[in-house]
Amino acid sequence: MRRHGTFPHWIRVASGLPRDRAVTINVQAGDTLPTTEGFAGVIVTGSDAMVTERHDWSEATAAWLADAARAGFPVFGICYGHQLLAHALGGEVGNNPAGREMGTQEIELLPAAAADALFAPLPERFPVQLTHEQSVLRAPDGATVLARSALDACQSFRWGDNAWGVQFHPELSATHMRGYIQARKVALQREGLDPAAMAAGVAAAPEGRRVLRRFVHHATALSRSRG
């Protein structure tokens, strides 16, 4: 996986952003959280950490996200970022009662997605790339749940007009997904899952990438309208 890059690189490429339009802040490594001034929006990546571990850097980022979302600043959380945003806004995160969800899986849009800025143009069901053990068990008060899967009732939510969380990984290609399954092979076998069958079931998931790109377009348009 390392030879293919890292989360920030995959996200930037998948979102269609050129290098000079994206800044990476590695809070876990000690980078200082910036102000939102000069930025159109923020995308929060996945992580090997767990939101429930309550690391200092994670809790500081949660407070930053809560302030940003309440100010109407565009926020898009992916996997860990999705869970951290929910936690920041008062939701509940914990181990998924259904267990690990991994591979190319189908999600179903809920009725509220038909009026959502990111999900409205998409089909009712489409495949996405997933790899997680924890989930948003309760969305924040005032949030609108937009999608679910067979193993997770909150695959996506929107809070306010400009903050979204998605449990799936819109930035992962089929190659990335197979790499994750291979990397977790032993753990999957211990859980009674079949890594070979999971890898064979991996497929392209272009609709997830469309959601990410629509967020970038939404944040950019909002920034321009604000001058």
Q: What is the pLDDT of residues 173-201, one digit of tens each?
A: 999 999 999 999 999 999 999 999 999 99
Question: CA 59, 28, 78: angle at the middle one, nearest 5?
Answer: 75
Question: CA 5, 25, 32: angle at the middle one, nearest 5?
Answer: 150
Does residue 4 carry a catalytic annotation? no
Does residue 79 carry a catalytic annotation? yes
Q: Which of 82, 154, 171, 207 is catalytic?
A: 171
Mean pLDDT of the chain: 95
- pTM for the whole structure: 0.95
Does residue 154 carry a catalytic annotation? no
Q: Which of 82, 87, 169, 218 is catalytic?
A: 169
Q: What is the pLDDT of residues 62-104, one digit of tens each?
A: 999 999 999 999 999 999 999 999 999 999 999 999 999 999 9
